[in-house]
Amino acid sequence: MGERVLITGGAGFIGSHLADELLAAGREVRVLDNLTEQVHGGADRAPDYLSPEVEFVSGDVRDAEAVARSLAGVDAVVHLAARVGVGQSMYEIDEYVDTNERGTAVLLQALIARPVRKLVVASSMSIYGEGLYANGGGAPREDVERTHAQLQEHRWDPVDEQGRALAPLPTPESKRPQLASVYALSKFVQERMCLVTGRAYGIPTMALRFFNVYGPRQALSNPYTGVLAIFAARLLNQKRPVIFEDGLQQRDFVHVQDIARACRLALERDCADAVVNIGSGEASTILQIAERLALALGRNDVEPEITGQFRAGDIRHCFADIGQARRLLGYEPSVKLDDGLKELTEWLAGQAAEDRFDQARSELMQRGLSA
């Protein structure tokens, strides 16, 4: 029998791809998932895309009994269970803190009683806030923030104290966190709790900071999921993708297969007590992404709507320095963006999506979280 791995939140987008990756590598896979409605649309059973070889346990990571039951006979854990969404976290604070922080605490409490060979926790690039920048002389700046007044004047790019432009750089794990949303704070707590507990109890632990993940199986009707899925839902409903600020903000888009492989490598490699960026190592603007997706879907006649609005917690530029992933994990991104978009559009051809973006934007505006 192969090693048995528990994936919390494993019926979702990333978890299901990781399950496929681990099964192909000869592992046994168990999934604990509560099938939250925002992701799974009220389904009462595991999604069809989840391999029938996966042992599915219906339950919540906050339920100590369900967690203990799921850990029986398990050799390693990948902890993905979390509420995801920067904007929503700012008005569903209790739910995000309860799921992400208390859920992790319940899991760790169970692992004290029943240690495993390896624990891998999904963290997030949102922890960084703004990415790393350089001033005019090339010196790094990691304390960059944009003021509300600056954003109201549509001065989107960060500047130094003299008003001079700062240049974005790849962001390494050494950059100090700037926790600009409740979601970011909760992910930071997740990774710190796991690393601290793992160190104290001799459980080798790694935290992987995922950048902007995209690919098939992403929840298209969830308006707080990845921006590519949100754009896809708009285009499938004959609507224009909506872009905040001016669309020139830069992100790092990484294919879900690369994320799944990174998780497998983290389980396999003899390294622990580390935080590792998992991205593509390449920067794309949000406008470029919207245009490339529309082109891939044959909707190049649709121009994105650039609103000039901004949201609380949004940052300007952040893309990954993946040098540490290469060194520690032997990780190398394998899916180029154009190839990933082609695969995504092929999957989208068989999908229907309820576009809930306007409702989500209204929620933010009513609470003064978007302007």
Inter-residue long-range contacts of 38-47, CB under 8 Å, 24+ positions, other chains counted = 38/219, 38/222, 38/224, 39/12, 39/13, 39/219, 39/222, 39/225, 40/11, 40/12, 40/219, 41/219, 41/221, 46/11, 47/11, 47/16, 47/217
Residues 6+ apart with CB under 8 A from 183: 83, 84, 85, 86, 88, 89, 96, 100, 124, 126, 313
Longest dimension (CA), the chain: 63
- Phi, psi for 8 (deg, rounded to 5): -80, 140
Six-digit token pair at 314? 């949004």
Rounded CA separation 239/57 (Å): 38
Active site residue 183: yes
Q: Per the residue annotation, which of 183, 214, 224, 331 is the catalytic one?
A: 183
DSSP assignment of 282-300, as one string? --EEHHHHHHHHHHHTT-T
Retrieve residue 88's tokens.
């929503």
Of 229, 212, 226, the residue nearest 345 (C-alpha): 229
How far, in Å, CA of 32 to CA of 14, rounded?
Answer: 13
10 burial level (CB within 10 Å; 0-12, 13-18, 19+): buried
The whole-angstrom separation of Cα 211 and Cα 333 is: 12
As annotated, the active-site residues are: 183
